Amino acid sequence: MGATQRRRRSIPTGRLAVLDGLRLVAALMVVFHHYVGYGGGSTKDDSAWGRPAASVFHGGAEVGIYLWTGVCLFFIISGFVICMSSWGRGLSDFLKSRVMRLYPAYWFAVLATTAVLMVWPMVRHPLGVYDVLANMTMLQEAFHVKAVDAVYWTLWIEMRFYLLFAIVVWRGVTYRRVVAFCLLWTAASLLTSYGGVTQLDLIVMAPVAPFFVGGLAFYLMHRFRPNLLLWGIVGMSWILSTRYALGHQSEVSREIGQNSPLWPAVLVVTLSFVVMAMVALGWLSWIKWRWLTVAGALTYPLYLLHEAIGWTAIRLLQPHLRPWASVAVVTVMMLVASWLVHRLVERPLAPMLKAGMARSIRDFRGAAQPSEVPASRVHGESLRSGTPGN
């Protein structure tokens, strides 16, 4: 592709409201999976109902079992958004934005979930102090420490994606570098999955890499123009993603003791790629409803809070409400709690964290440069120590 062909299209700048809406859809898919589709088998006590979900929801559980695939949509959106938000930015700005985005709501979620499990240890028992402190770093999986809430497994994946893409940001995000990154990551994934080089998987994350790569390629289509190379990257990503969908659906079905067909998971993942292709091609640019920005702000706190706290709330409501009413009430409660976390935790803490990180970076850069010590200070220290000055 020539330089003139790669010239940026006239696309709307700023936030894409449709992505905020899709993030909320993905979060609600995961919520519905955990509240309606999950439970039974070996995990009958570690769930919202304490018994197979299929015995609680006739018909609903058969749909809910597949909606863990909201996570796959999350990963595709993440690739798109990270590429978009890091364009033209330096490494320090990129890292600051990721820390500000991830940690304030996460810290609150860890403490809030621990507090709820201490008061009502119905679905899970709270972890010990050391394990909770390890969770505060978001690196508990690297430390082989159990997570306060099982949904945190995706955060470890996101963090490794950020660290990988930070290499591109450090060099400067350009069309060619993002394409090269996509091709190299896909090749490394194939080498890890089919070449037996399993030692690379901690970094490569072969099972989920296709979702992020697909999101990156979709953003290049959006920013520039679709072409055969980008469609090839997306196509390969989709093919590899279906393998992950089949494997993960098998695990979910086995875990909850249901012999469910696997093809619906592939269908939902395919629809996720189709919807993101529509975003990339600008077919959904007409969606500009203001409330979607609020919806997008709720997504991350909702994801962090909904499982263990939501299951506990459902157990408490179980004697008083019918199952579907319990799901509706708890989902609304989680949305309200997510809005409060956004307003009262994320908004106040993010600027403070940003300022603290900016000072730390300035101090680090300043310490890396030789600095002149004021002569008066040197002279004063010389007199106090009894050593002659210059």
Question: How far is it, in rounded angstroms, from Cα 181 to Cα 220?
Answer: 12
Do the domain assignments include residue 108?
no
Instruction: Give me the percent of the chain exceeding a pLDDT of 90.
Output: 74
CB 18 within 8 A of CB 287: yes
CB 166 within 8 A of CB 94: yes
How high is the pLDDT of residue 377?
46
Residues 301 and 333 sit within 8 Å (Cβ to Cβ): no
* Distance in angstroms (rounded) separating the CA atoms of residues 266 and 43: 24
User: What CA–CA distance (Å, rounded) separates 333 from 161?
Assistant: 31
pLDDT of residue 370: 58
Cβ–Cβ < 8 Å for 215, 186? no
Q: Is residue 105 domain-resident?
A: no
Q: Is residue 142 part of a domain?
A: no
Phi/psi zone of residue 127: left (φ > 0), alpha (ψ -120 to 50 degrees), beta?
beta
What is the DSSP code string of 107-136? HHHHHHHHHHHHH-TTS-PPPPHHHHHHHH
Residue 260 lies in domain? 17-100+152-365
pLDDT digits (tens, 9 = 90+) for 242-258: 999 999 999 998 888 88
**Is residue 123 in some structural domain?**
no
Q: Which pLDDT score, from 0 to 100, does residue 201 have?
A: 85
126 lies in some domain: no
Q: What is the pLDDT of residues 56-66, one digit of tens each?
A: 998 899 999 99
Q: Is 107 among the domain residues?
A: no
Encoded tokens for 274: 């189709």
295 neighbors 342 (Cβ within 8 angstroms): no
> Which amino acid, one-letter code, is at 385?
S
Site of tokens 């030692």: 199
**For the chain, what is the domain count?**
1
Question: Residue 359 — very low, low, confident or very high, per pLDDT cuts 50/70/90?
Answer: confident
Confidence of residue 3 (pLDDT cuts 50, 70, 90): very low
pTM to 2 decimal places = 0.89
pLDDT in tens, 182-229: 999 999 999 988 777 777 888 999 999 999 999 999 999 999 999 999
| pLDDT tens digits, 21-42 | 999 999 999 999 999 998 765 4
d(CA 40, CA 319): 19
- Is residue 118 one of the residues assigned to a domain? no
285 falls within a domain: yes
Angle made by CA atoms 177, 238, 274, in degrees to the nearest 5: 100
> Cα–Cα distances in Å, from 5 out to 85, 175, 226, 262?
22, 11, 10, 41
Instruction: Give ∠ CA 106-132-96 in degrees, rounded to 5.
Output: 35
